[in-house]
Each structure stands twice: as C-alpha cells, then as structure tokens.
A and B are shown apart, each in its own frame.
Chain A
Amino acid sequence: MAKWSMVIDLEKCVACQGCSIACRFENNTPVVGPDQALMGRAMRWNDVFPLPINADEDTGEYPNVTSRYIPRPCMHCENPPCIKVCPVGATFIDNEGIVEQNYARCIGCRFCTVACPYGVRYFNWLEPKWEAPLGEHLNPDRVEGEGVLEGPVVRPRGIVEKCTFCVHRLIKARERAEAEGRDFRADEYVPACVQTCTGKARFFGDLDDPASTVSQLAKSTRAFRVLEEVGTHPKTIYLREG
C-alpha cells in the first residue's frame, strides 16, 4: 500500500502562488470576495504566506529583515488531530495516508477546524459562488459513493473542506490503468499544485517506496516537518533553504 507524501523545497520556491491558483481551479474552491477575505474567510486549500506568521512577531528592520515564505497545503498527518475530534467520521484518513473530507456527512460543528494546528481546514460560511466566467468553467470531476461525496464537486454551505492531495486524480489514474489492463504506477498521480509548480519545488510520491524521490528527499539533512513537536507526524515534508 502506498503512503502518499509531498516534499516542498523552500530553496526552489519563488512564492509565485501558482500552486494556490492551480489548486483553486482543480478543486473548484469558491471565491469569497474582498469583504469576506478581510474577515478571514478566504478559502485557500493551498496557501503561501510569510514566516513568521504573526504580525506582532519581530521580523527585523530593513535591511536586516528575516521574512521568508512558505507554501502550505494540508500536512496529511499520520496522527491527524482533526480526525480524532470529528464526531461523525466526516473526516478520515484512507489506507494510503490521505486525509479526506466527506461532504455528504459533515455537520459543520467546526471541531476539526479548531483542532488542526496548521489551520488547513476551511468552513463554508456562505453559499459558494463564482463570478461570471469562472462559474462556467468548473472542474466536472467528483467522487461519489454510498453516503460519500468528495473531490472537486461544488460544496454546500455549512460544511468543512480541505486539501485532499487531489484524491480524485488518484482514483482516475487507477481507473485508467485498470481500463488499459496494466498495473498502476505511482508516478501516474500528482496533485495539481505539484504539476504546476513554477520552480519545480514540489515533489510527490510514495513514502513507503525507498526508491521514490520523496523517500530520498525525506532523508535529506535539509528535511523538516512543521510543528513536529506537536506529534502529528506530517507527510508534507519541507526542505529548508540553504
């Protein structure tokens, strides 16, 4: 069984936000508009923001400024705090390590959103909407099963959504391999942000395969995970600059 993981090389990242845009179009993330965004209601499954993150932390004075940027998808923790607290099992980790959200079951209590130390979970405060041309070009992909609704399908208001490592792409890639009567290969599946990354800073693959790129990079002395001390064991791994 695969253990999907993403490695982001901060040395190569140019903070272009290409990943954020690719994610938005791949996953039909609603555009909330400037008013809502100022209230802190913007939906960014993938975000790119400066470090340190809090305005009152000292970043130094010009020219000795220490500000850096970090792209942030879901960490897809091996011990996800969000899943523990969900009262209905709407958020779950599949047997390949992807933390997913079942839109058909979520009751909107927002326990997962307050429990996630990374703030990667987004709540639909209002009915999702898109401006004129955007709404006509939504990704038609969806993942639907018995009592399960996932993937880029337009989410209803009042529920939580999050980065899924584009799990619908994994399902599609598997189906294609099956239709062609051959084995599925790990390199047939990458999330949209990895595919689009301008600086080729993102890598994706199977952490259980010692030969995979992500396994090799995870061993790098530059490798670190965010908030490792919290005990979440993220599968999104960073390579520090320098």
Chain B
Amino acid sequence: MLPTTFHPQNNNEAVILAPVHRVTRKDLLLWAVLLGIMGIGVYAYLTQWFTGLGVTGLNRPVYWGFYITNFVFFIGLAHSGTFISAILRLAGASWRTPLTRAAEAITLFSLPFGVGAILIDMGRPDRVMNIFFYGRFQSPLLWDITAVSLYLFSSIVFFYISLLPDIALCRDRLTEVPSWQQKMYKILALGWTGRGEQFKRLERALDNMAIFMTLLVVTVHTVVSWVFGMTVQPGWHTALIGPFFLVGAIFSGTSAVVIVLAILRRVYHMEKVLPVSLFNSLRKLLIVFTVAWLYMMIAEFLTTTYGAISDEMLVVWQKFTGDFAVLFWTMALTVFVLPLIIFLFLGKDHVGWMVVAAILINIGMWIERFLVIVPTETRPRFVSTLMEGMGSYHPSWQEIAITGSLFAGLILLYVVFTRFFPIVPIWETAHSGETK
C-alpha cells in the first residue's frame, strides 16, 4: 500500500530533507548546552519552590515582574506563526508558503513557555487545580487561561494537519533512519496517501481553520492585555492597551520569524528554498508594524500627558525621566528608530541587516512588556513608598536564570524539531500537483 502514496513533485526536496537525515555531534552539543541552561533554570525554580517567591526581587507594590513579562512576551512571540500562516493565507499572499511551518513552529514552541511563566509566578503552584474547581469567569485570568489554552490546542491541530503530507513523505523517503523514527513517522502520518480528495480536504480544512485562528490571534493577545487593562491602575486602565499589545505581539512575532529564517538558511543551506525575496516581503510588513507601533505609542502618551491626570503622570515620568528612563529610551531606539533606519535604507536584499533589526526589535519588545507592567506598580496611588528601597524592583538571579531557561527551552524544542521533521513545507512549496 505504501508505494502508492502520492507526493507532489518538489525539486528542493533533497535540500529540505537534508537536516532530517542525521543528528550530528554538533547538534548533540547544542542540545546539551541548551539543556544545561534549562538545568540552571530548574535549579533556580527549585530554590523558589522550597523557599517561596521571597527568593525573587518581587515585593510590595511590585508584585509582578520578570515572570509576567515573560508570559506576555512569549504569548506575543507566538503570534508570529498564526499571523504568517493564517492571516497571510486568508490574504492569499502565496509568497508565505516556504516560511509557514518555520513561523508556526515558533507559535507552537513559545506557547508552552508563556503558560509555564504563569505557573512559575504562582505562589501556590500546588493549588493550580483550584482554577478548574473554583474558576470564576469574572476574572480576566480565566479569560486568559481559556484563550491561551484554546490557542495552544488549535495551533497544535493547525500545525499537525499541515504537517501530515510531509510526515508521510518522511515515512516513505527516509528509509535509513532508526526504526523507532520510522515507526514514529508511520504512526504520525495517520495513513496519509495523498490520493483522491486528501489534498483538497486538507486545503479546505486549513482555510477554514485560518479564519478561526485569525480571530484567536486578536482575542488572545487582547485578553492578555486585559489582565492589566481591567484593573483601575494608572497606566494600565486604558482601552488602548488591547490593540497596543496586539500590534506589539505581531511585531515581535514577525521579527522572530526573520531571525529563525536567517538561521535556517545559513545552517541548513537553504538559500534556494528560503530566498532573499522572502526577507524583502517581511521587510515591507515590518515597516508597517514599526510605524503602527509608533502610532500606538503617540496615541497613548499624547492622550495621557495632554490630559495630565496626576496619578497617570507619576507613571509617565517614571518612564520618561525616572527610574525606567534608560530602559524606556533604549526601547524607543531598538523598537523604532534603529529598525526603521535599517529597514528603509539597509535592509533591502541584506539578510544580515534584517536579522540585526529583528534582534533589536525583540530585545526592545521584551523591554516594552516590562515597561508596561513594572513602572505602573512602582507608583501606586496609596502605598507609602517613602521608605528607602520601596517602589523599586531588582530581579534576583533566580528570575534571570528562569527567564534564560525559558528562551533556552524554546530554542531546544525548535532545533530538535528541525532534526526530525522538515521545517519547510515540502507539499506547499511543491512545483507540480498530481498528474492526471
């Protein structure tokens, strides 16, 4: 039965499958390093588990810090894939096909770490089941849990069904891989044959899911922002926070795609499969997002400073000239000024510059998340911060180590995945369909 399976003809098949063939010593070394970083994170978490959240730099009034920043950042990063493969699918942008899977993989592998960041932040992780026993939908946290878990499960399904034809291809082509790996492909391929209606149905399923996923992208990150927006705190309680988070999420997600694509291109020699034109298309998108981000920034700060409500201004000054001024202006530089200069004057046809800009944007977006959360907490309306040291936040080594291990975990899942599955969709980039 197996030889009768139909696979669309793709001239780049050998290049795309090359990384799947073997696990090299270099791979093992990289995995070991990443696992090592994660190990430090696990150790840091164990100290927190046994001592309490007291090991962090969190305090009153800065109850939320690095962990919640990571939560928002990773969920934002996750918007890369869905944006590229769902929204651009609906828009009919066919240039997206070679990068869909690479982008969706970012989605899939960052979501667990976003969820993990929330669990790490909990004072009583042993009581996590209370959320299911006593969950109250009046709480934005429950909206979050619902939206993010729905997003995670939908992403898995979306990712998996678009992977099916390629798993079947691995099953049929990669006959020299270890038997457990062959068995894995056989089970995961779910008996895909590529015959008859299968491709048509797959396309239809993906098209329909793309609509649902697009709605989810908007919902998920808006709901994440509402954790802050629904409170009455200065700097958080604004209707703009939802759209602002959404723009930021798609912005950092799309930049992450640029970084990943450049690495895949270089390391797996996929220059032909992932041509420079892809980067040029992403460059245009990113110019739009950079400007959209500036628009959001101006809308927010002009409204706040023009109205100049004193509680709000305390937070604004914390960002402009206060404790967070260095971070704030660094953020403005790395998210807006430098990337825009690079995109406009240097980025065209230059993958290197694009990567520089994308890295700057992601560093800046992490800082931006941090700056949305922490400065508001340092200027509470009614907590006396007169005591020396109060109203400030200095993360402990545990928080930094755990943050590092979350990033290491994301990278680890990614590199392991690329060794076992083709990271460029072979069937979607195929040159010809089934011959009649």
Q: Interface of A with B (CB < 8 Å)? A: 36-42, 47, 49-50, 53-56, 72, 81, 84-90, 105-111, 113-115, 117-119, 122-127, 156-160, 226-227, 230-232
Contact between chains at A108 and B53 (CB < 8 Å): yes
Chain A residue numbers with a CB within 8 Å of B51 are: 126-127
16 sample A-B contacts, Cβ–Cβ < 8 Å, listed by A number: A40-B61, A40-B391, A50-B384, A87-B139, A88-B134, A107-B127, A109-B123, A113-B60, A114-B64, A117-B380, A119-B380, A119-B382, A123-B60, A127-B52, A157-B123, A158-B53
Interface of A is mostly: loop
8 tightest A-B contacts by CB? A108-B123, A158-B123, A119-B383, A49-B384, A125-B54, A126-B54, A40-B59, A87-B141
Does B170 have its Cβ within 8 Å of any Cβ on chain A?
Answer: no
Q: Which residues of A contact B232 (CB under 8 A)?
A: 81, 115, 117, 230-232
Cβ B388 vs Cβ A38 within 8 A: yes
B contact set with A: CB distance below 8 Å: 51-54, 56-64, 118, 121-124, 127-128, 130-131, 133-136, 138-142, 145, 227, 230-233, 314, 377, 379-391
- Contact partners of A105 in chain B: CB under 8 A: 127, 130, 134
Question: With A36-B54, A41-B59 as given contacts, are A107 and B139 in contact (CB-CB < 8 Å)?
Answer: no
- Nearest B residue to A108, CB-CB: B123
Contact (Cβ within 8 A) B60 A53: no
The smallest C-beta distance from A239 to any residue of chain B, in angstroms, reads 18
- Taking CB as reference atom, which chain B residue is nearest A110? B63
Closest to B376 in A: A114
**Would you call A119 and B60 a contact (CB within 8 A)?**
yes
Let me know if B63 and A114 touch, CB within 8 A: yes
Bound Cα distance from A38 to B176, whole angstroms: 64
Q: Which residues of B contact A107 (CB under 8 A)?
A: 122-124, 127-128, 130-131
Q: In the complex, what's the smallest C-beta–C-beta distance from B54 to chain A, in angstroms? A: 4
How many Å from the CB of B243 to the closest CB on chain A? 21
The residue that B60 contacts in the complex, of A40, A54, A90, A111, with Cβ under 8 A, is A40
CB-defined contacts of B128 to chain A, threshold 8 Å: 107
Q: Which single residue of chain B is at the shortest CB-CB distance from A82?
A: B231
Most buried by B among A113, A125, A159: A125
- Bound form: Cα–Cα A125–B60 in Å: 10
A42–B385 Cα distance when bound, in Å, is 12
